[in-house]
Chains A and B, each alone.
Chain A
């Protein structure tokens, strides 16, 4: 992190002292680089001292994480420096965990697992090597809500040949996404994904 500090002082009547600090700092959180410019107005009166962030500009280097741009504008509007840093930290941590998890599955089941968007994919496709028409796509989005909380959101998309859909009387494929969400709650992310992969008969010897 690097910072520049330019301060200007202004004395007004009745011993109220106002100091405007301008800060510029640049830094990075793992692979995400940012530059901040903000102003802090300090007003010292007889009773109290208040420090307010009066202006906040955040410049992010473009990343593959499109979810960040909304969050950054919110942080700027609210001049919420703390939320910016803390949410960014958790967001990047979740992204790295997602990447590690997907890469683990790709290594373990190289024929069945495909990462359509490459290393920083937000989805993982699992295909049964015996029945290539069936595919399960796990979409893992990482969202930052209005209060700055970082939440993972996983969904399941299914793909099957038309003939299979016609034979699907118990509507397993239709109810799969809901079932997946319930499974996540019970087993957690890694175990749920593992059981999905296994359910397509991957890794069995025939």
Chain B
């Protein structure tokens, strides 16, 4: 295969001649060193091929096991003699399946008017609240009632997508709700677990996309030298888009304070809020250890 990067001089025939003489020359100069290197590589290739085949066989075995375990449930159900037990078993299974769908973040159940969709939120493995939207299947599709908080732009999202692409409507709503739940979780964690680092309460709006607080870095320090303002302009993310940190300590502004200030700004932009403060705690512990030794 020739790719579009190679250019040669003297035309195709001359090039072919050159290639021919090159191969003839290299055949004559068979180096014993290259021969052993070649055979060593060949042995390596053989070894890797055997390993690959072994892994492939293992994968096939696991596949078969998975298939067997999912298939083995059915024969058990058919062995059930008592009809009522069979029906109850199926009911339990349906309930379990419905519950399982909640873990996907988006689940629903049919209602007399249409469908009630349940959106579950989570952040970093923590399962947070759920919200529902009750839809009436009519032309036009409309929302009968819902538990979406008022500061989530539901009207905007439904105006854009509800009538044309209901899947996109649900996913968009899901995004907003998950992001809000994640931001709220971070703010709650900061307030409850790191209250000692804050001077006064954490100020936030209901959408949790504008936070402001005054904090210190050392757990045993007396003053709270930094003032932070976090703005999350993108409502579908859990990390801020704008971070402003101002130094308001009583010491003269030295380079080390300025370095810290810039470093903090970067930290808040890239890590979740409570994790930033966890790293402050760890740094503080490290300093204490150095004092002891």
Contacts and interface: CB of A to CB of B under 8 A. Distances in A.
Contacts, number: 96
B117 to A, nearest CB: 14
A166 B105 CA distance: 57
B4 A85 contact: no
A198 B112 CA distance: 53
Contact of B97 (A2, A52, A174): A2
B104 A51 contact: no
A163 B12 contact: yes
Contacts of B93: 2
Contacts of A23: 100, 103
B interface, size bucket: 35 or more
B70 interface: yes
A61 B6 contact: no
Given A79-B125, A86-B171, A160 B4 contact: yes
Interface stretch (B22-30, B58-66, B153-161): B58-66
B7 interface: yes
Contact of A3 (B5, B66, B100): B100
Interface of A: 1-5, 23, 25-27, 33, 35, 40, 50-54, 56, 59, 61-62, 78-82, 85-86, 157-163, 165-166, 173-174
Interface of B: 1-8, 12, 15, 59, 62-63, 66, 70, 73, 93, 96-97, 99-101, 103-106, 120-122, 124-127, 171, 174, 178
26 contacts: A1-B100, A2-B93, A3-B99, A23-B100, A23-B103, A26-B70, A51-B127, A52-B126, A56-B125, A59-B62, A61-B63, A61-B66, A78-B124, A78-B125, A80-B124, A81-B104, A82-B104, A82-B121, A82-B122, A85-B106, A86-B174, A157-B3, A159-B2, A159-B4, A162-B2, A162-B12
Given A35-B70, A80-B122, A82-B122, 6 more contacts: A61-B66, A79-B125, A82-B103, A162-B6, A162-B8, A162-B15
